[in-house]
Amino acid sequence: MTITYEELMATSIVDLNHSYGDTETMLYAQSVGFGRDPVDRKELPYVHEQGSPLQTIPTMATVLVPDLIPSDLGWDYTQVLHAEQRLQLHRPLPAAAEILVNKRVVEVFDRGPKRGAMILFEADGRLAKDDTALFTVGSTVIARGDGGFGGQSGKGPAPHRAPHREPDLRCDSPTRADQALLFRLNGDRNPLHCDPGTAAAAGFPAPILHGLCTYGIACHAILKTICDYDYTLIAGFDVRFSAPVLPGDTIQTDMWQDGNIVSFRCTAKERDVVVLRNGKCTLAV
């Protein structure tokens, strides 16, 4: 099946109802590495609801949009690559809420038969009770098997560039062998992240970690290293995915801080492979 520009651009959903509670909030936190030390008093408020208000990780917004990247848009879903993720927080996420989500395709670019199609998605989340805006998420997807459909060429958003100097700060985040099995409980049940046979068919030695898990672990590193665990300080979080993480890898996050902008890059330390690049975390001012 060939993708059709007009049909993709007409793809939108308005007022999709979604609710989450403290269980989902704590699960997300644990799935990106919070609570490994159960007596760490700075991480405990993210994984334990008693004794203090439950705190939320900004990047959890990406798992609050059902089917962030749909599987049924007429493309070859087995060839779909999640290339970029963007996030703007309009206010800190509540620990539990009923929300309304608007989803749409922003643009589709034809990069040719060998390079695939580039599709830009966007979604807005707001509180159902009073229409308060919570977040805007954007995703860039490369449909590698669907280029040459006759659409216009073009480029997505310009990537953020890190400064040309040694990192100001660095944080190592070990991942667990079962990290992908835990993160998939947030909603992404793609067998690439849990089935060895599917992973082998795709050319990987084992099921790989979700890109959005690596994204959340990078946010964890910045919360820990720069924000002193104050989740209200993060207002934006953008990144390009450059290589998969294998569960068990140590993710090394290099950070450069310039005012309220934190540039960052993540590397699978043992394999010396850059897995996230062009990272930009915007701090609230």
Which residues are identified as catalytic? 188, 193
**Per DSSP, which regions of 63-189 are E strands?**
80-89, 97-110, 117-127, 133-143, 169-174
Which residue, chain included where needed, has tokens 């749909």? Answer: 70
Q: For residue 179, which amino acid is it?
A: Q
Please list the residues that pair with 142 across neighbouring strands.
81, 118
Task: State the sign of the Cα–Cα–Cα–Cα dihedral 158, 164, 167, 172.
Answer: positive
Using an 8 Å Cβ cutoff, are 29 and 35 in contact?
yes
Burial of 5 (0-12, 13-18, 19+ CB in 10 A): middle
Q: What is the CA radius of gyration of the chain?
A: 18
